[in-house]
Amino acid sequence: MRVKIIKKNNYVNVLLILKINQMKTNFIEY
């Protein structure tokens, strides 16, 4: 159970990091 929860959290964290990176690149482009 704990491992599954950690995996889910890691997946969400990766998505957040990707979104933040996209926003940063968009900000740099402007």
Q: Is the pLDDT of residue 19 over 80?
A: yes
* CA–CA dist 15, 22 (Å, integer): 11
pLDDT at 1: 63
C-alpha separations of 5 from 2, 14, 25 in Å: 5, 14, 30
pLDDT at 3: 76
Q: Is the pLDDT of residue 24 over 80?
A: yes
Half-sphere exposure of 2 toward its Cβ, with a 13 Å CA cutoff? 0
pLDDT at 18: 92
Question: Residue 26 — left, alpha, or beta (φ > 0 → left; ψ -120 to 50 → alpha)?
Answer: alpha
3-state secondary structure of 30: coil
